[in-house]
Structure 1
Amino acid sequence: MKRSVVLFMIITALVFVFSGCDALQGLLSPEPVEVIVEEETGEFGISKVKGPSGRTDEETAVFTWTIKDPDRQIANYEFRKDGGDWSELGLETEYAWTSYSRGPHSFEVRAQDIEGAYSFTLIWKFTYGVKYPVIITSAGQSFGVSTMAYCARQTNLEFLQDDTVLAEELTEENAGTLIIVVGVSHKGLGAKGLTLEQEKQRIRSLLDKAEAIGVDVILAYVEGKANRGGSTDELIDIVLPRSMTVWIVEESDFDNKFTRLCEKHSVKLVTMRKRDSLVEVIRDHFGL
């Protein structure tokens, strides 16, 4: 009996001591799963009747909605596109949006009653004209391309990863969207038997071919501030002006380089607070 008590005390002490270690802590008290709930703000309800979601190839999106309380007197409806400024719509409960660009979009609508109170905000999210198949490649052979591929797999996106794909391998049949993940690793280049100049020329040729056959190009930089400057910035300068969209981690734009270049070349810039948000960015872009 004493032996059992002693053994129990030893086990309890070990659990107490080692519960601070990361590896064991994960077993003893697993990380809670974060549940994100979209908070509704507003004083009364509004409901969707019609509108696109996910992927669409329609060139016009029609949105309709209704007030949940038919007795509430509405003074005005407001809408906004892609998180821009709110615009008044009067008492119309339908809106047709045309001439949007390829890629992800959002449409929001809210009501205001005669006393000035606002309803909950409705939001539709949809993606227009995304091109398949998808190829993920590297520009600089850093770890960033592996991060991109890992996140893409989390979304169930179908893609081909080819870190050194050549222009002559790109065809209309095997490529619709080309994701170029920029970041220079001289060790990575060496492992692929490439010099920096050879890598630059490969990327220039890829961009030429993509433009010739109508492939959408996305520049992704997911390494944050650490690998900016020097050779990486040289590759950014090559890829960004010929991209449709740029995906970056927020901190990597510390000098506003991405902001300036995207404004100069009319390229859509998507920023992420953390690299983990890349999964959601991929889902939004491809309507997954």
Structure 2
Amino acid sequence: MMKKYALSICLLFLIVVMATFQHTQIPKKEANAWPHLPAPLGNGKILITSAGQAIDGYILESMTKELHIEADYRPRVLATDVYEYNTVLFVVGYSPTGLLFTDRTWMEEEQRIRLLLQEIAVKKMPVIVVHMSGFNRTESSTNYLIDLIAPHTDYFIGLRSSDRLQRYRRLAQRYNFPITFVEKIEHIKTPLNSVFR
């Protein structure tokens, strides 16, 4: 009789352990997803720049000020100017209106980003990508810019409301960078803070 109970208890224990293990495993598609970084990767002087000239960079600049993170927002910075920085935050979002105000064509903006990425690679600077436009700016131009920057990305922060979540997850797996999705723009502060502290 004691053997029956012992066997039942062992089976019950095994079922509980297996259920717990399955519940805590991260699904393959979520392997790179984090609520925030476990350790900082940004350091030194910080550059915030735009890729696509959407106004989202001003929002990110405001967030860094609230978090007491010293950063320069230079939406039109050139590759020749990155020598004075140690970490780069790209705010990705294509805006035809924003581009119009820079007196730059789409091809010139793309070339500016390419040259920036080359210089960043030479300096081995961490690259953080922030895409805060959700459904509003996920057209082909924005996606092209994200694809362009992805091989250089060390961390990606985006809105969960984006219609391209699976696409961004695939990029994170392909280029092996952590990714965080937040519900609202103001929730970007937590993962952003984790980049530096």
Q: What TM-score bracket applies, with the shorter chain setting the length? A: 0.7 to 0.9
Give the match for residue 228 of structure 1.
138
Structure 1 residue 219 displacement after superposition:
0.9
Give the match for residue 48 of structure 2.
136
Provide TM-score, normalisation by structure 2: 0.79
Q: Whose RCO is larger (CA < 8 A, sep 6+)? A: 2
Which letter does structure 1 place at the counterpart of 2:55?
Answer: F
Distance of 1:214 and 1:278 partners within structure 2: 25
Query: Equivalent pairs: percent with the same residue?
Result: 24
Please tell me the root mean square deviation across aligned C-alpha atoms, in Å.
1.7
Provide TM-score, normalisation by structure 1: 0.55
Which letter does structure 2 place at the counterpart of 1:258?
Answer: Y
Give the match for residue 10 of structure 2.
none
Deviations 1:225-265 (A, max 9, x none): 11102211111110112111111011115451101111111
Structure 1 residue 188 displacement after superposition:
0.6
Contact 1:222-1:248 at 8 Å conserved across structures: yes
| Gap regions ≥5 residues in structure 2 | 1-23, 27-35
Distance of 2:65 and 2:124 partners within structure 1: 25
Contact 1:241-1:262 at 8 Å conserved across structures: no
Alignment length (residue pairs)? 165
Give the match for residue 167 of structure 1.
79
Runs of at least 4 residues of structure 1 off by over 2 A?
Answer: 127-130
Instruction: Work out which of the two has the higher radius of gyration on C-alpha atoms and give 1 or 2.
Output: 1
Q: Are 2:152 and 1:219 equivalent residues in the alignment?
A: no
Q: Taking structure 1 as reference, are residues 129 and 191 closer, same or farther at Cα in structure 2, changes over 3 Å only? A: closer
Give the match for residue 60 of structure 2.
148
Q: Taking structure 1 as reference, are residues 188 and 128 closer, same or farther at Cα in structure 2, changes over 3 Å only? A: closer
Distance of 1:241 and 1:251 partners within structure 2: 23
Q: Are 2:183 and 1:273 equivalent residues in the alignment?
A: yes
Pick aligned residue for 2:112 from 192, 202, 212: 202
Pick aligned residue for 1:104 from 16, 34, 37: 37
SS at match of 2:49: strand
| Gap regions ≥5 residues in structure 1 | 1-83, 87-102, 106-126
Distance of 1:129 and 1:148 partners within structure 2: 18
